[in-house]
Amino acid sequence: MLEDSYGRRFHYLRLSITEACNFRCQYCLPDGYDGPPNSAFLQLEEIQTLISAFAQMGTSKVRITGGEPSLRRDFCDVIAHAAATPGIERVATTSHGARLFKDGLRWADAGLDQVNISIDSLDPNQFASITGQDKLQQILKGIDLAVEAGIKVKINTVLLQDFNANRLNRFLAWLKKTPVTLRFIELMETGDHHEFFARQHVSGEPIRRKLIEEGWQPLLREKNAGPAQEYYHPDYAGRIGLIMPYSKDFCKSCNRLRVAANGKLHLCLFSEQGLDIRPYLAQGDVQGVKQFITEALSDKSVSHFLQEGKTGATRNLAMLGG
Ligand code: SAM
């Protein structure tokens, strides 16, 4: 099992397979994606080598992210490879969900267990204004289909002062009957968006207090769960989670490592640089990847230091997957 010098154990790989995205979220790629094509990013054989190496070191969960992972033509193959790797027990993806209705069942057939879909607003106009895409209804249809098909669905909602911070009741009304877990994520500062962050960042703490007041109860965290504290309520089909990266001790429960679509290992979402493992991946060298990662891990720092305004080399989260 991979362990760092602070005793944190890593059984969760977040693998970005592309930097490209066709949404233009105001806090991520407001001007759209203008980078290399998918052919420049990790290829299937490299991905296979990578996941095998991680699995042999105790990784049991892989999340396929991006950019927008469903923009890759071989997305189903990536899922299938991850699901077929001995030791990998759960395969998840994070997606904007625009292709969920059309392709979600094929993803599940390939071995996908869970989708996290990003929805920052349940108001179609506001959704379009945040993402640059008028696709909320299409995405909600995809979610209904995924839920019916038994795929575990989580929703990511980035808290934004001028958009959704005061719309808790609308989300609650939806969760009354919709069996998904919706996680409010505090906006994180990234290199491209210091001003947007200063205007829009809002703490999740008032929401947490309101939930407790209204009878929501905290759930125990599973072994390979993310950093969300989740809550349930007997009157609601859905659950709510809060991800508060600026809270004290947030990094103490860190259990994930990241590999960007260009084959760089990131010990933290906000590290200063990625460490290039692509030469090993290109050669199919599973042992080399394992050795590299084991040695690199001793340099993982105790915290992201985001609260000090240090955003590392991360200009936006499409670069390496949120
Ligand atoms: N394209 C996919 C999607 O739309 O979910 C996956 C990539 S996206 C970068 C992953 C997640 O990161 C999304 O839920 C997005 O809302 C979140 N995200 C992006 N930038 C963020 C930021 N600055 N702070 C917090 N969350 C952010």
The verdict on residue 174 lying in a domain is yes
Nearest CA to ligand 1 atom 25: 187
Q: pLDDT band for 221, please (50, 70, 90 cuts).
A: confident
Q: How far apart are CA 86 and CA 14, in angstroms?
A: 17
- Residue 178 near residue 239 (C-beta atoms within 8 A): no
In the predicted structure, residue 153 carries a pLDDT above the cut 90: yes
Does residue 6 lie within any of the structural domains?
no
pLDDT at 301: 85
Q: Tell me how far the alpha carbon of residue 131 lies from the centroid of ligand 1, in angstroms.
A: 11
139/162 Cα distance (integer angstroms): 22
Instruction: With a cut of 80, say whether residue 236 has pLDDT above it.
Output: yes
Q: Is residue 197 part of a domain?
A: yes
Q: What is the pLDDT of residues 284-311, one digit of tens each?
A: 999 999 999 999 998 888 888 888 778 8
C-alpha 198/C-alpha 60 separation (Å) is 37
β-strands 264-266, 256-259 pairing: antiparallel
Residue at 4 is within a domain: no
Q: How many domains does the chain have?
A: 1
Q: What's this model's pTM, rounded to 2 decimal places?
A: 0.96
Structure letter (DSSP) for residue 188: -
Whether 223 shows a pLDDT value over 90: the answer reads no
Q: pLDDT category, 266, cuts 50, 70, 90?
A: very high
What pLDDT is stored for residue 250 in this prediction? 87
**Taking 90 as the threshold, does the pLDDT of residue 271 lie above it?**
no
> Using a 6 Å CB cutoff, which residues line ligand 1?
21, 27-28, 65-66, 68, 94-96, 118, 156, 158, 185, 187-188, 190, 317-318, 321-322
In percent, the amount of the chain with pLDDT more than 70 equals: 99
State in Å: Cα 88 to ligand 1 middle: 24
| 264-268, 276-280, 287-291: least confident range | 264-268
CB 115 within 8 A of CB 154: yes
How far, in Å, CA of 302 to CA of 252, rounded?
8
Do 182 and 239 form a contact (C-beta atoms < 8 A)? yes
CA of 62 to the centre of ligand 1 (A): 17
- 141 located within any domain: yes
CA–CA distance, 192 with 27 (Å, rounded to integer): 9
Is residue 1 in some structural domain? Answer: no
pLDDT at 314: 87
Contact predicate 116/155, CB 8 Å: yes
Å from CA of 33 to ligand 1 middle: 14
Give the per-residue pLDDT at 224: 58
What average pLDDT does the chain have?
95
Residue nearest to atom 23 of ligand 1 (CA): 188
Q: Say what the pLDDT of residue 228 is.
A: 87
Report CA(43)–ligand 1 centroid distance (Å). Answer: 23
Q: Which of 93, 156, 180, 269 has the most ligand 1 atoms within 8 A of CB, as the residue to mutate?
A: 156
How far apart CA 172 and CA 16 sit, in angstroms, is 31
For 128, list phi and psi in degrees, rounded to 5. -65, -35
The verdict on residue 255 lying in a domain is: yes
Which atom of ligand 1 lies nearest, measured to the CA of 189?
A: 23
User: What is the predicted pLDDT for the residue at 225?
Assistant: 65
Q: Which domain holds residue 282?
A: 12-319
pLDDT tens by residue, 19-61: 999 999 999 999 999 999 999 999 999 999 999 999 999 999 9
CATH of the domain at 280: 3.20.20.70
The confidence score (pLDDT) of residue 32 equals 97
Compare 320 and 213 and report the one with higher pLDDT. Answer: 213
Name the residue of 33, 119, 138, 185 whose CB sits within 8 Å of the most ligand 1 atoms, as the mutation to test its pocket.
Answer: 185
pLDDT of residue 310: 80
* 181-185, 250-254, 302-306: least confidently modelled range: 302-306
**Parallel, antiparallel, or unpaired for β 12-16 and 2-3?**
unpaired
What is the mean pLDDT of the segment spanning 2-8?
Answer: 93
pLDDT of residue 90: 97
Residue 239 lies in a domain: yes
Ligand 1 pocket test: which of 15, 118, 138, 196 has the largest number of ligand atoms within 8 Å of its C-beta? 118
Among 310, 314, 218, 229, residue whose Cα is nearest residue 322: 314
